[in-house]
Amino acid sequence: MSPTFFIGITPPPDFAAHVLAWQAELEHVVTAPHITLLAPAELPLEHWQSVAEQVAARHTPARVKLGGSDFFGSRVIFLRVDAPELRPIHADLVQTLGEAPGEFALENFHPHLTLALNWRSLNVGWAEAIRHAEATFAGLDAAPLTFEARQLVLFGKDTAGQPYTERRRFDLGRAS
């Protein structure tokens, strides 16, 4: 496998720590909390960096609202995201990359913050993980967390099976 990369945004550090603590309780290791804007693909690092830099320079910071938990069947537990300002950034990333990696691009783009993936180990069953997420993040239904995404984050991994790690940040609204 060649290295793979993707571009996303990250929530505020204190909220990311809250998500990581929830994952640690379930002994569930995934990539640092993020909202994916451009799905993983095996393209050279230099290409990804160029795309992120160009797109970041063309867009201003985006408002993001995180809501309560939800799930995609028995595959993914996530937090809902309400962020219309992310759609043009996503579309620009796809256009600048020159392809739409994965099936969840453009009209199928569904921004969310992943909490758990069914192909990673958990110390509880899937239904219990869903209940735990609902209880832990219930407050976001009544009072969503609103923040401003000020950077695109390039994540990468060198081998299959390992979590993605942050490689570089690109400030929105100016060339890096």
In this structure, is residue 166 part of a structural domain?
yes
Instruction: Return the H-helix or E-strand segment holding 132.
Output: helix 126-136
Range of the domain at 159: 4-171
Res. 129 pLDDT band, cuts 50 70 90: very high
In this structure, is residue 176 part of a structural domain?
no
In this structure, is residue 100 part of a structural domain?
yes
The CATH code of the domain that includes 43 is: 3.90.1140.10
Res. 78 pLDDT band, cuts 50 70 90: very high
89-122 pLDDT, tens digit each? 999 999 999 877 878 888 899 999 999 988 888 8
Instruction: Return the H-helix or E-strand segment holding 91.
Output: helix 86-97
In this structure, is residue 51 part of a structural domain?
yes
44-71 pLDDT, tens digit each? 999 999 999 999 999 999 999 999 999 9
Q: State residue 99's pLDDT score.
A: 78
Domain count within the chain: 1
Instruction: Return the H-helix or E-strand segment holding 155.
Output: strand 151-157
Q: State residue 98's pLDDT score.
A: 87
Note if the pTM is more than 0.95: no
Q: Distance between CA 127 and CA 130 in Å, rounded?
A: 5
- Rounded to the nearest integer, the mean pLDDT of the chain is 92
In this structure, is residue 131 part of a structural domain?
yes
pLDDT at 1 over 70: no
50: left (phi over 0), alpha (psi -120 to 50) or beta: alpha
